[in-house]
Structure 1
Amino acid sequence: MPVKTVPGTSLNYYLIAFDAAGNEREVYGIRASQEVLKVLSIEAITDVFLISHGWLGDIPAAYQQYDKWIAAMAVQKADIERMQQVRSQFRPLLIGLHWPSKPWGDEELRSSGVSFGLEDVVPVERLVEQYASRIANTEPSRQALETIFQAAKEDIAPPTLPTEVRQAYQILNRESSLGSEGEGAAPGADREPFDPERIFQVAEGEPVSDSGISWDGILAPLRTLSFWKMKDRARQFGESGGFKLLGDLQRAAGDNVRFHLMGHSFGCIVVSAMLAGPNGRGSLVRPVNSVALVQGALSHWSYCSDIPVAPGRVGYFRSVVTDRKVDGPIITTQSKFDTAVGKMYPIGAGIRQQIHFAPKLPKYGALGTFGVCGLDPSIVIDMNMLAVDASYQFEPRKIYNLESSKFICDGTGGGLGGAHNDIAKPEVAHAVWQAAIGN
């Protein structure tokens, strides 16, 4: 069934799954959106919480992640009691969204016990299939991937990219249909023109590995292409299936039902695209009531009306602010221990010198590193994430960048992202609750 009880709690949530094109999929033979719309029509729901994960694998992995996040919310008894005081007869409807979003295959490589060394037998055919589905499922793409993986098997770290590998990457980039229009463009196109040799050299100076598996050398441009392709997919899903779902839910709910959106990583692109609508210019049935963007893997300029480092260009999701699509607060989190957005995001744009915390904001940077930037200081407030017994006093229609390194700090689970996934924390849950409660 698409409805799931969080272990150790009395809370249920629905999982609504979509394919890469933004079309809803059946989960255990059921379209969960129809079940959710039925609940909204017959039950006295007061608040709807829509949650989007970032990069991960399959539906079981989505259930596992949402179990952890919602369990963290469930133990904040003081916040729940406060919500019950503010919202008489408080009764939430919790919805987790699933979309295919695995950007690279470090998990598969680790689980199969292989690495790219001379003595290893690497399942190149399987890797080609996996990456073709993520970047471009075409014959030229498959041939290019085979060239790249065979070269990696022979020599993972040559002094420069071999000519045939460089050409293969250019073919793969072309087949991906990703743009390169710089800041202010749609997520996935908000990058510099693709230069595999430059990315290769940048990665040599900024090594990234996972459990002994190198994602530098010849594979570095593949990693960055995958990263940008998932940004593009997150936007497309948010603008299509996600935007439609939000509209359907708002139309089915009573006017007094409040909506709260939360995204993590690429899920922050999903949430932003759901609010902004197709091409960033859609209209909501009515504004939502709170938004939480946790360790966002989207541009720190996404919400501004004039990008300081690119005068005359606007952030792709500026309509979220200018059209007042959020009645309550928007909160964001930042952590210096999140290497996925702190290191890999600018590497993906090919900008080596920006991989640090500098007083001057870089042209390319992630919201999970720098917060929402480029807006009037009267709208955006920078502050530290607070302990669970402190009150935020969030104000409507303001954005709060919460420096969260004190709490989002644990990268001991390994992987490429450092503390990127360390978000099922009481303090993070408290901030989300406080934004939903409002004033």
Structure 2
Amino acid sequence: MQFPYAEVEFRSTGATHDDAQRRAAVELVASSGATDVLVLCHGWNNDIPAARRLYQRLTDSLAAVRPAVPGAASRTLAVVGALWPSIRWSDEDEVAGGGVAVGDEAAALTGAIATRVEDPARAALLTGLVPRLTDSAEARQQFLDALREQLPPRPGPDATEPDATGVDEDPPPAALLHGDAETVFQAVGGPEVDFGLPERAGGAADTTAGGTADVVADGMADPAAGGAAGFGFDLDSVLAKARGVLNITTYYTMKDRAGKVGSGGIATLLPELARASGSGVRLHLAGHSFGARVLAAAAVRHPRLHSCTLLQGAFSHHGFAVDFNGRGENGLFRSLLADRQLTGPMLVTHTVNDRAVGLAYAAASRLARQAGAGLGDADDPYGGIGRNGALKTPEVVQPGVELLEVGGSYQFQPGRVFNLKADRFVSSHGDVTGRQVAYALYCAISS
């Protein structure tokens, strides 16, 4: 690590795992004399070494681009890494037809259960049902019911983020909570979503360039249409659908946990870090995937932040919105911008290449029966900020801004939101540690 660094681990409830870590982070910030403190938060994995590698790669890139950042030489940076028990969710192999060979679906589903279901008894139950899923509607219903037990209660205003003033923009669809298994399996594992990725020679999708999303229709096919167990797909596809159901329930479980960790543990840590170096220190937040939601939940509880950077955020593109649904309701984290808590900019990287976020929201839309020509994109009520940027948010700078090469000129402004279209430099959900991303982040820190 090329900057002064400390890390603080949090429990799933939001409580600090070890107060000694918290004290050490505060002492590090105080002793370093840093003018700026950057809090990093990972997402989508349950592996602390993987989170540390993410922080190492990103901070290495920050150090590499520092000479090119205007004003960086006059400021000093300390870094605090937050660690929390996130669960791995959709990866490239969750995209229909990708990553899993025909005949390997049972092993893939069993492996996914092992990494995503934390309760051993529930994991054993689900694993025991795998051999019966292709032939038994009863087994599919039991599989869904077992997963439902780990879902949080359906929220009104999100009780886990008490200082957020808006409403939850993407509660679990009613079908996920109450629908029959055949409907849920069919919806979550419906027709493939074409994310508009141009093909390379040989037919492989090129994830280094952007494209316009083009989506097949709504996916609520009639189970009576024939085929294995009424699905109309081969037997392996039923197991792929089961992985999709597991993935979408993991999404909503992690959404709830991210709120608890952010509004509980990290929101409590931020004022201590701010006081550690005196009144002149500036706080900056940068979160990836579910970590972006963690930090958004923390940010609305802290009265003074300089910058907030959301790297392929795994939450609603209406999270900061005004009247996102035509009923006068604002996004859950609207107060961060409305109350002018930012003395610097907010950055949001987004790309059509982020198929993990796109797939999760496509599944949610199918379950809400809102799928259509805009499935997963800016016109979808269920759409991700890492896919589309922050929408219906007055502070967004228009027209959109491209993520630039190192040395490019950003005109960041206090309290404004910059949706950074990252198609050229971010090839997937996890590709957030490159120098172009680090350069934009460091420009925000130094602005």
Fold shared by both chains (TM-score > 0.5): yes
For 1:265, which of 289, 307, 310 is the aligned residue?
289
Q: Go from structure 1 to structure 2 and tell me whether the alpha carbon gap of 1:122 and 1:396 turns closer, same or farther (over 3 Å shift).
A: closer
Kept in 2, the 8 Å contact 1:289–1:436? The answer is yes
**CA drift at 1:72:** 1.1
Q: Which residue in 2 is equivalent to 1:432? A: 441
**Amino acid of the structure 1 residue aligned with 2:289:** S
Q: Which residue in 1 is equivalent to 2:410? A: 392
Q: Identity over aligned residues, as a percent? A: 27
**Amino acid of the structure 2 residue aligned with 1:35:** A
Kept in 1, the 8 Å contact 2:345–2:414? The answer is yes
**CA drift at 1:433:** 1.2
Q: How many residue pairs are counted as aligned between the two chains?
A: 387
**Amino acid of the structure 2 residue aligned with 1:345:** Y
Q: Which residue in 2 is equivalent to 1:233? A: 257
**CA drift at 1:32:** 2.2
SS of 1:353's partner is: coil
**Amino acid of the structure 1 residue aligned with 2:386:** G
Q: Go from structure 1 to structure 2 and tell me whether the alpha carbon gap of 1:115 and 1:225 turns closer, same or farther (over 3 Å shift).
A: farther
Q: Go from structure 1 to structure 2 and tell me whether the alpha carbon gap of 1:344 and 1:222 turns closer, same or farther (over 3 Å shift).
A: same
CA-to-aligned-CA distance 1:150-204 (integer Å, 9 cap, x gap): 3432445x6xx71342244235314422416599644873544414433421313
**CA drift at 1:248:** 1.7
SS of 2:8's partner is: strand
CA distance in 2, matches of 1:374, 1:118: 43
Q: TM-score, normalized by length of structure 1?
A: 0.78
Q: Go from structure 1 to structure 2 and tell me whether the alpha carbon gap of 1:31 and 1:169 turns closer, same or farther (over 3 Å shift).
A: same
Matched, 1:292 2:309: yes
Matched, 1:50 2:39: yes
Q: Which residue in 2 is equivalent to 1:412? A: none
**CA drift at 1:39:** 2.6
Q: Go from structure 1 to structure 2 and tell me whether the alpha carbon gap of 1:310 and 1:119 turns closer, same or farther (over 3 Å shift).
A: closer
SS of 2:419's partner is: strand
**CA drift at 1:66:** 0.7
CA distance in 1, matches of 2:20, 2:170: 29
Gaps of 5+ in 2: 93-99, 159-165, 195-235
**Amino acid of the structure 1 residue aligned with 2:140:** V
Q: Go from structure 1 to structure 2 and tell me whether the alpha carbon gap of 1:368 and 1:123 turns closer, same or farther (over 3 Å shift).
A: closer
Once the two structures are superposed, the pairs formed by residues 372-383 of structure 1 within 5 Å of their partners are 372-376=390-394, 382-383=400-401
CA distance in 2, matches of 1:379, 1:105: 31
Kept in 2, the 8 Å contact 1:147–1:165? The answer is no
CA distance in 1, matches of 2:20, 2:316: 33
Q: Go from structure 1 to structure 2 and tell me whether the alpha carbon gap of 1:180 and 1:218 turns closer, same or farther (over 3 Å shift).
A: farther
For 2:138, which of 157, 163, 180 is the aligned residue?
163
Kept in 2, the 8 Å contact 1:263–1:293? The answer is yes
Q: Which residue in 1 is equivalent to 2:151? A: 176
SS of 2:79's partner is: strand
CA distance in 2, matches of 1:259, 1:432: 13
Q: Go from structure 1 to structure 2 and tell me whether the alpha carbon gap of 1:367 and 1:122 turns closer, same or farther (over 3 Å shift).
A: closer
Q: Go from structure 1 to structure 2 and tell me whether the alpha carbon gap of 1:303 and 1:346 turns closer, same or farther (over 3 Å shift).
A: same
CA distance in 2, matches of 1:42, 1:322: 34
CA distance in 2, matches of 1:348, 1:149: 24
SS of 1:75's partner is: helix
For 2:66, which of 77, 80, 104 is the aligned residue?
77
**Amino acid of the structure 2 residue aligned with 1:397:** G
Once the two structures are superposed, the pairs formed by residues 29-108 of structure 1 within 5 Å of their partners are 31-80=20-69, 82-84=71-73, 87=74, 90-104=75-89
Q: Which stretches of structure 1, 4 residues or more, deviate above 6 A after TM superposition?
A: 118-124, 126-129
Q: Which residue in 2 is equivalent to 1:110? A: none
Q: Go from structure 1 to structure 2 and tell me whether the alpha carbon gap of 1:24 and 1:377 turns closer, same or farther (over 3 Å shift).
A: closer
**CA drift at 1:59:** 1.9
CA distance in 2, matches of 1:341, 1:236: 21
CA-to-aligned-CA distance 1:362-405 (integer Å, 9 cap, x gap): 11100011111112267565221122121111111110111110
Matched, 1:347 2:333: no
**CA drift at 1:352:** 4.1
Matched, 1:204 2:190: yes
Q: Which residue in 1 is equivalent to 2:201? A: none
Q: Which residue in 2 is equivalent to 1:415? A: none
Gaps of 5+ in 1: 108-113, 278-283, 410-418
**Amino acid of the structure 2 residue aligned with 1:228:** Y
CA distance in 1, matches of 2:173, 2:315: 11
Once the two structures are superposed, the pairs formed by residues 12-27 of structure 1 within 5 Å of their partners are 12-26=4-18
**CA drift at 1:311:** 1.9
CA distance in 2, matches of 1:392, 1:402: 11
Once the two structures are superposed, the pairs formed by residues 266-345 of structure 1 within 5 Å of their partners are 266-277=290-301, 284=302, 286-307=303-324, 309-345=325-361
Q: Which residue in 2 is equivalent to 1:152? A: 130
**CA drift at 1:287:** 1.2
